Amino acid sequence: MKRVPNDPGPTRRTLLTVGTGAVLAAGCAPAGAPAAPGPSPSGSASPGRPAGGPVPGVMTLFQDPAYNFNGLLALGAAGAGSSEVGEVLTAVNTINGAGLSAQTYVDTFRKLGDRLLTAPPGAPADSQTKRFRALRAAQYYGQALFFVLGSDAPGSEEQLYKSGRKAWDTFCDLCEPAAVKATVPYGSTPLPVWFFRPDEESTPRPTVILTNGSDGQNVDMWTYGVPAALERGWNALVYDGPGQGQLLFVDRVVFTPTWEKVVSPLVDWLSARPDVDPRRIALTGLSMAGDLAPRAAAFDERIAALVAMPGCIEPWLGFPPEIRKILTPGKEQTNDIWNKEVVPELPPAAAAVMKKRFEPFSAPAMLEARQGKLFTDFYTPATRIRALAITGVVGRIKAPTLVLDYDDEQFYPGQPRRMYDALTGPKDYLKLTAAEGAQLHCSPMAPQLHCEVVFDWLQHTLPGR
């Protein structure tokens, strides 16, 4: 197919005007710049917000918005015990002192993870010390993992994931009671699950299934839900789905648009347990899972309550328009534009961005990235991302639904309001604001407030005790 003369499509120059940090954050505007426009005003500023842009003053740990966002996630996790303020800020100083890059970021956080798996100074570590040092190690390995494809050792990605997974499993084994570790059938690749309970009694309780997004790790589900659930007498289930954790980095299973086929086996597994009330199973979705979880709830009516954090109905729109324009109806034409016009002009940092963003949707792209190469098939993963759109099924959701939004939502601006408007069942919409320090995608600086909002709503919707 030939390109239509009046529609020249994306040019190399146009693509290269997209900031590296902006692409990595899937549309994130640089600090201090306005968010990308959306179809509704839901990304607008709130009264009482601080001056100085989305991350004013001390909220700017790094000048690059993508690194800054990840640093804020690590810092905000301290309230749940899954990081330490002094450790994170010392790492930030080390990275900035050495010069911010993927290499310095990966090296610094990997070494921090390694250090935490050794004994601290003083007396021999007891089980509680080992437990929370392992949790923090999982956080820091996850931080390193996010940028490893841009480092000089991209082939260490799987091993770095396994280091974080080992730390997470160590933490889970030392919980009281220990998390139940199991696998749940899913096609030819079982889903690993971690089931947390307030105690070992068999009393049926409400249970929340915590769904991660496109690049989070299990430790994030601790920060964004497990303690809040346990403190309210709820059970909490954490799992790896396609495109996540073990299924991505080890089993090489990428995302699927039919997320109900992932969640329904989890509901089956939970419903068979005597300590789960099958009438009170809630489902949350963090980040891109604000698209996945609603999709599952649209097809599985056993989900009694749903929270989208934030609401997302078209993940493909989270990519800058310059990237989206590459995709044409034809695979050959699309890949021809990508390989001949775009790839030769991409700086190394921008290439690393694309490797990271596309690996959960293409095992070949992930394997090429681990060899230091940029994928040549843009069409297949881009088509998979576009297929995640749930615009046609949101109206089927019957469960009471809470849709969260955030000031300066940089991934999916406007989409939470679009989801809320499309819902036909019981629904609530709530925006977390900069005035509360809860701005940006998933409120990285305020996960405690985030959990308070979510679990107060869940407790009201599906009373626990």
Strand partners, 225: none
**Which tokens sit at 54?**
């989305």
Average pLDDT score, the chain: 91
CA distance 33 to 202: 52
**Which whole-number Å values give the CA distances from 60 to 262, 271, 433, in the listed order?**
37, 45, 17
Number of residues in the chain: 465
Q: Over 70: is that where the pLDDT of 38 sits?
A: no
pLDDT tens-place string over residues 300-342 = 999 999 999 999 999 999 999 999 999 999 999 999 999 999 9
Q: At which residue do the structure tokens 């090429």 appear?
A: 368
User: Any idea which of 5-19, 106-120, 285-299 has the lowest mean pLDDT?
Assistant: 5-19
Q: Over 60: is that where the pLDDT of 421 sits?
A: yes
pLDDT tens-place string over residues 367-415 = 999 999 999 999 999 999 999 999 999 999 999 999 999 999 999 999 9
**Which whole-number Å values give the CA distances from 149 to 154, 245, 350, in the listed order?**
4, 16, 11
Between vectors from CA 213 to CA 461 and to CA 85, what angle results, nearest 5°?
Answer: 90
Strand partners, 286: 309
Note whether 69 and 52 are within 8 A (CB).
Answer: no
- With a pLDDT cut of 90, the percent of the chain lying above it is 86
Whether the ω angle into residue 310 lies within 30 degrees of 0, i.e. cis, is yes
CA distance 439 to 446: 8
**Which whole-number Å values give the CA distances from 339 to 273, 328, 345, 362, in the listed order?**
51, 14, 10, 17
Average pLDDT over residues 439-445: 98
Average pLDDT over residues 420-445: 98
What pLDDT sits at residue 47?
52
Average pLDDT over residues 156-179: 98
User: Any idea which of 193-202, 246-255, 279-288, 345-354 has the lowest mean pLDDT?
Assistant: 345-354
Taking the alpha carbons at both ends of the chain, their separation in whole angstroms is 63
Strand partners, 253: none
CA distance 261 to 301: 13
Q: Over 60: is that where the pLDDT of 73 sits?
A: yes
